[in-house]
Structure 1
Amino acid sequence: MKISPQSLFPSLVWSTLFDDHVDFNNRLLGAIRLLYKNDPRGVLNSNVRGWQSPNNLQHLPEFDEINLRILQVCQRIGESIHFKPNLVYQHQAWVNISPPGASNKIHYHANCHFSGVYYVSLKAPECGSIFFRDPRVASRMITYPINELSEFTAEEIQMRPEQGRMYVFPGWLEHGVEENRSDRDRISISFNVLASPR
C-alpha cells in the first residue's frame, strides 16, 4: 500500500546567497557604521539589548544597492507564486546590530506581503538563528506522540544565519531571533515589502 502526502497551505521561506557578498558586505558595513555613529540611540521594536535604525534605508542613497536587491528578489518570488504582472514593489528597510546577549522577541509584520533579513556580519553558529513559529500551533487540539521532530510536528523551525544570505518569508509568519552567544556583533538588514497595483 502506497501512502502519499500532499502539502496543503505551505508556509514558505525563500533563501538566496549573494555570490559577491564579501565585497558587498564590506561596503554595507561602512554605511552601517556611519548610520550608527549619527544615531546611536536608534529605535526600540522587537530588539532586546540591540540597536535598530529607523525604517528608512529605502530613502538613503548609500543603501541603494541592497534596496535594489531586496526588491529584485521579492519581485522574482512574487512572479514564482503567480502575483499579478506589473505590480509596484515598495519596501521599508532597517539595520539591526545585535551585540553579544542581544535577541529579538517573537513578532510578525502586518500589512506587507513579504518580510526578510539579509546577514551582513556575524559569527556562526553561536550568533543565534532566526526561528519561525508554526501558525497552526494555536489551533492544535492534541500533541503528537513522536520520537523525533519533523517539519510537520515542530512548533518552531530555525534557519541558520550566514553572511551574504537573505531569507524572505510571508509578513504574517511569526518569527524571532535567538540570543547572540558569540563574541561579535550580529549585523543584519531587515525589510518589509508590499506589492501594489500601479
Structure 2
Amino acid sequence: MIPQSIFPSVVWSTLFDDRESLNIKLLEQARAMQASNPAGVANTNVKGWQSPGILQTLTEFEVINRRILQVCQSIGDSQNFSRDVIYQHQAWINISPPGASNKIHYHANCHFSGVYYISLKAPECGSIFFRDPRVASRMLSYPADKPTQFTTDEMSMRPEEGRMYVFPGWLEHGVEVNQSDQDRVSISFNVLAARGPAR
C-alpha cells in the first residue's frame, strides 16, 4: 500500500540562528509599544494585548519585517509563484499573559499568515493549533483509537523562542490558553503576493 498525499495543508517553519540577540531587541520594542497604547486593539485575542497592524511601517522593526518577507518569498519561490510578484505584509504584536488565548479564526485576502515567537515559557504557554478545513464536508468521523494526520480534526505546533511558522491565510487557527507564569510575546503577520506591473 503506497499512500500519496493530495491537497495538503502545509505549515512551514524556520528557526533563526541569531534569535537570542534579535528577541532581546524585539521584546524591548514590544513592551514600549504596549506602554504607549495600553488599550491595544481587540480582535481574536482573549485576555491579551494586541498592537495595531503597523509594524511594517516602523523602522525599529525593520529586521523582522525583512525576514518575514524573505521567508515568504522563499516559500513562494518553492511553490512556483510568478517572478513578478511583490510581497507586501501587515504585522502586529501579541502579548498574552497567563490565562490569555486566541479564538479560532482565519485571515482573508492574503496568501500567507504566520507567527514569530519572541518570548515564552514552553510548553505551558499554549500552542498554535490548526483546524482541518475539510471537517465540515466529512460524512462520518473516523473510528480511530489514536489520531493520525489523516484522521485528526486539529493539529498543534509547539511554540519556541526564535521560531517562525507560516501557513496559508485560509487555514483556520487559534492559540491555546497560556498556562505558564509569564507572558507569551509574538509577532503575527499576513502576507500578500501581488503581481507587479506588466513589463
Q: TM-score, normalised by structure 2?
A: 0.98
Q: Secondary structure at the match of 2:107?
A: coil
Aligned match of 1:19: 17
Could you tell me which runs of 5 or more consecutive residues in structure 2 were left unpaired when the two chains were aligned: none
The correspondence of residues 32-43 of structure 1 with structure 2, limited to 5 A, is 32-43=30-41
Instruction: Return the letter of the residue paired with 2:87.
Output: Y
Tell me the equivalent position of 2:140.
142
Q: Equivalents in 2 of 1:103, 1:80: separation in Å?
A: 32
Q: Is 2:76 the partner of 1:78?
A: yes
* TM-fit CA distance, 1:181: 0.1
Name segments (4+ residues, structure 1) moved above 2 Å: none
Q: Does 1:110 align with 2:108?
A: yes
Q: Which runs of 5+ in 1 are unaligned?
A: none
1:98 to 96, 99, 103: 96
Instruction: Give the 5 Å matches for 1:113-124.
Output: 113-124=111-122
Residue deviations 1:155-194 (CA, integer Å, cap 9, x gap): 0000000000000000000000000000000000000000
Where 1:16 maps in the other structure, the secondary structure is strand
Question: In the aligned structure 2, how far is the partner of 1:78 from the partner of 1:142?
Answer: 35
Task: Please give the TM-score of this superposition, normalised by the length of structure 1.
Answer: 0.98
- Report what 1:178 is aligned to: 176
Partner of 1:28: 26
Amino acid at match of 2:176: E
Instruction: Determine what percentage of the aligned residue pairs are the same residue.
Output: 69
In structure 2, what is the equivalent of residue 44 of structure 1?
Answer: 42
Aligned residue in 2 for 1:6: 4
Secondary structure at the aligned position of 2:33 is classed as helix
Distance 1:138 1:197 in 2: 33
2:153 to 155, 168, 180: 155
Corresponding position of 1:64: 62
3-state SS of 1:117 partner: strand
RMSD: 0.5
Q: Report what 2:126 is aligned to.
A: 128
CA distance in 1, matches of 2:135, 2:80: 28
CA deviation after TM superposition for structure 1 residue 87, in Å: 1.0
Distance (whole Å) between structure 2 residues aligned to residue 11 and residue 179 of structure 1? 24
Deviation at 1:33, TM superposition (A): 1.1
**Structure 1 residues 124-158: Cα deviation after superposition (integer angstroms, max 9, x where no partner):** 00000000000010001011111110000000000
